[in-house]
Every structure is written in C-alpha cells, then in structure tokens.
Amino acid sequence: MPMSARDYTWMFTPGATFTEESGTIGVIHVRDGGELSLPTGRVVACDPFVYLGEGDIEPFTATVEPGRYRVEAAVVTLTRPDQPASDRPHHRVAAARLVIRDEPTAIWELALLPGQDPDQLGEDEFYGYGVDAGTGCFYDASADGSFPECVEDEGPLWDSFDDEDWAPGPHLVTSPSSGATLAAFTSGWGDGCYPTWIGRTSAGDVTCFVTDFFVAPDPADVAEGAEAAG
C-alpha cells in the first residue's frame, strides 16, 4: 500500500514531545505564519527558491474557495539532556499547514497533481515535491509569475530568511510590485522529497493542506515507546 498519513493533530499539538533513540528530546510548538491569499483557490506547494516563477509546478487537483487562509508550522525544539543548553536553540520545521477551516479532520488523502494516480504507487511510496534549497512553501497558482523581484539571490523571499532570530519560518512574503503572497518555511532536515496531505471533514470539505517533513516520528511509535518504557 502507498504511504498512509500520520496523526497530524498530534503533530500540531503544542507541547507534544518525543524522544529519539539517540536521547534527543523534541518538543513541538506551533508558530503562526499569518494569512495567505488564495485568489483562485488553486494551491501550489514547492521549493520556492528553485521553482517560483519557472512555470514548472502545477497546482494540486483539489481546490478550495478563494479567500485568505491561516498558515502555521509545527516547529520542533531539539535538546540533548547530556549537553549544556545552547544560546541558539535547535529548531526544525516538522510540518507546515494551510488551514482552510477549523473543523476536525475525519479523513486524509494524498494531495495530487494532474495525472498522478495513487493506485500506481508501491509499498510506502508517495507523491511529493522535491526540495533542493532546503525550503518549502504554499502559494496560489496565480502568484507563480508575480514575484519579479526574486531574482537569483535577491528579493523579498531571500530577505525573509535573513532574520537570524527566526530563520525557520513560516514567513509570509509579499511581492512589493504585485501584492501577491506566499508562505515559506525551511524543510525539516533539508533537501529531499516531501508529501502534502489534504484533510477533509466527514462531509468531504477540505480542512487543510499539510506538508510533512519527516522530523517528528510517527505518533504511534511514540506511544509504543512509552508503553515499552513503562
């Protein structure tokens, strides 16, 4: 079977904790990234430093009502009990979420691009977007060519990650010329391929889009570890 969605309610619960085999402790907190404008309701997720403005990335087949929607990131603070506290906490973005409605998610489905068929996936496989610059984002399909200021290593996208106090994000980036927005964030441990999941209510309405960067373990494994320790 293809990869299944994990428990993203747990992953976006402030104060949720886990312990890695190395002894590293992770504590999750949720950081607000502001409201993203979706004038067409067609959602794009990609590495913006590589694909923004290239016209190579299509929006997901699932659409939502045009509007403004909250973006947030599940950020993990990692510490080692056997090491002294650092002046610069170790933060990683475990997942990023575009919240469409504040209602419970009943089912999850893999976000798909045109032509992708989940029935063609093998065991634990998934469709996702490639990251080559350590960054992911959400934006409306209409905004793809709306950031002419972002050229090479200049522009508001680059500037947003220059904030040394909070580099991980999420950062709401606005084009000064077009007013288009995107929400950008670092991608967990960096480059790779990451799936985006769509949450739906029991009635089938979209609740959110979540990109998982595989930083936090599966909550089921956390529970099993706790039982074993007990």
Which tokens hold the place of 136?
């992911």
pLDDT of amino acid 56: 79
The gap from C-alpha 57 to its chain's centroid, in whole angstroms, comes to 16
Indicate whether 1 belongs to any domain: no
pTM attached to this predicted model: 0.91
Indicate whether 2 belongs to any domain: no
- Report how many domains make up the chain: 1
Q: Do 57 and 46 touch, CB atoms closer than 8 A?
A: yes
Indicate whether 153 belongs to any domain: yes
Q: What residues make up the domain containing 121?
A: 8-229
Kindly state the DSSP code that residue 86 receives in the 8-state scheme.
P
Indicate whether 14 belongs to any domain: yes
Below-70 pLDDT ranges, the chain: 149-153, 163-165, 220-230
- What digits encode the pLDDT tens for the residues 24-69? 899 999 999 999 999 999 999 999 988 887 777 899 999 999 999 9
Indicate whether 36 belongs to any domain: yes
pLDDT of amino acid 228: 45
Indicate whether 3 belongs to any domain: no
Indicate whether 212 belongs to any domain: yes
